[in-house]
Structure 1
């Protein structure tokens, strides 16, 4: 069969599966919570897929290049398409936005504008990942080792920011769809900005994962106990 099927890419494949399940869940208003959890699972899997891949001795050039490409394609689905689908369906299910658009025709454009933001967010995620791949390939021809800085905000930040907004919505029983959309526009812009960001080390990844687990626990608590 075409492709690579050893343990170096298993976490990436699992991330794709989680992202697709999340996209399916996002189209059901009752399953948005599950979609957010899938996004967080993708973030957790992505944090370790590179280290797992590099643990294999004597990886061939084909395996290395395949790993880079499949990782970026996975990130497009998990951190580009999935958050955008969640955003679109939050907009469609928002009672607050529905009231605004029904109250006066001048707000009729709002829903369309917010959906366009979701589409542009997905586009910036794809552009950012394509740029990263080309830049990384050029860098590896000139120097060895891992890069120390990212250009632009990594797309994986979606796995922390958007679940946090959803957690605040659950905890306060407020419709924070417009807040979600504001950060979607901001994060999308930062994806393609030229801002230099130091690549997080292993300790930083552990801290981010712990924060993600705390978010997940709090979301489950709010979902169960806050009515």
Structure 2
């Protein structure tokens, strides 16, 4: 079979599988589990690069494949998947769909640029990147769960949807904004994972009213 199937890309494949399952959940308005799948995909993406770098004898083909497959999966997991979630929740007006389209375009542009620059960087050095150029596309797997865990506290559906529009637009703009963002240390990364995991646990197991709130937006 064509392709590479060693352990360095396993988390990337798991991330994609979780996102596809999440799309099924979102299409059935099972939004709690859709958000859960988004968070799991983000978790896999946070650590796939660290795992890939543990293999010291990767060939150039394996490195380039890793770059390409990671970005292709990211388009699905953190580009298309969040668009489907947001659309099902209520971003289904004309202006909402314009924001979602621009968000998707910004994600693709960012990942295309990353592929070019990362391939160039890896030809020059084997060191891990210390900075992101612009906001990483995985950020939506953090922003949406955190926003949604506070959704029952919004005084109205309209205000929650307004906040959702702002978050999606802001994150999309930051994808293609030229600024340097320091990569998290291992301790900071685990702390962030803990925060997102707590948010998802609240969404899935605690906020019974959260489900009713979002379901009423249909």
Aligned counterpart, 1:38: 37
Q: Choose the corresponding residue for 1:189, options 151, 155, 173.
A: 173
Aligned counterpart, 1:63: 62
Aligned counterpart, 2:136: 154
Aligned counterpart, 2:22: 22
TM-score normalised by length of structure 2: 0.89
Please report how far the alpha carbon of residue 143 of structure 1 lies from its aligned counterpart in structure 2 after TM superposition.
3.6
**Do 2:99 and 2:169's aligned partners in 1 also have CA atoms closer than 8 Å?**
yes
TM-score normalised by length of structure 1: 0.85
Q: Name stretches of at least 5 consecutive residues in structure 1 with no aligned partner.
A: 94-110
Aligned counterpart, 2:108: 126
Aligned counterpart, 1:205: 189
In 2, the alpha carbon distance for the partners of 1:58 and 1:139 equals 18
- CA deviations on 1:116-158 (whole Å, 9 max, x unpaired) are 1111111111110111111112223334412221111011111
**Do 1:121 and 1:188's aligned partners in 2 also have CA atoms closer than 8 Å?**
yes
Aligned counterpart, 2:215: none
Q: 3-state SS of the aligned residue for 1:8?
A: helix
Q: 3-state SS of the aligned residue for 1:187?
A: helix
Aligned counterpart, 1:103: none
Q: 3-state SS of the aligned residue for 2:6?
A: coil
In 1, the alpha carbon distance for the partners of 2:55 and 2:126 equals 17
In 1, the alpha carbon distance for the partners of 2:47 and 2:129 equals 16
| Count of residues in correspondence between the two structures | 209
Larger mean CA deviation between 211-220 and 36-45 belongs to: 211-220
**Do 1:124 and 1:188's aligned partners in 2 also have CA atoms closer than 8 Å?**
yes
Q: 3-state SS of the aligned residue for 1:114?
A: helix
Please report how far the alpha carbon of residue 173 of structure 1 lies from its aligned counterpart in structure 2 after TM superposition.
7.6
Larger mean CA deviation between 136-145 and 44-53 belongs to: 136-145
In 2, the alpha carbon distance for the partners of 1:225 and 1:214 equals 17
Q: Name stretches of at least 5 consecutive residues in structure 2 with no aligned partner.
A: 213-218
| CA root-mean-square deviation | 1.8
**Do 2:38 and 2:77's aligned partners in 1 also have CA atoms closer than 8 Å?**
yes
Task: Check if 1:140 corresponds to 2:122.
Answer: yes
In 2, the alpha carbon distance for the partners of 1:224 and 1:75 equals 30
**Do 1:170 and 1:222's aligned partners in 2 also have CA atoms closer than 8 Å?**
no
Distance change >3 Å, CA 114–CA 151, structure 1 → 2: same
Distance change >3 Å, CA 57–CA 145, structure 1 → 2: closer
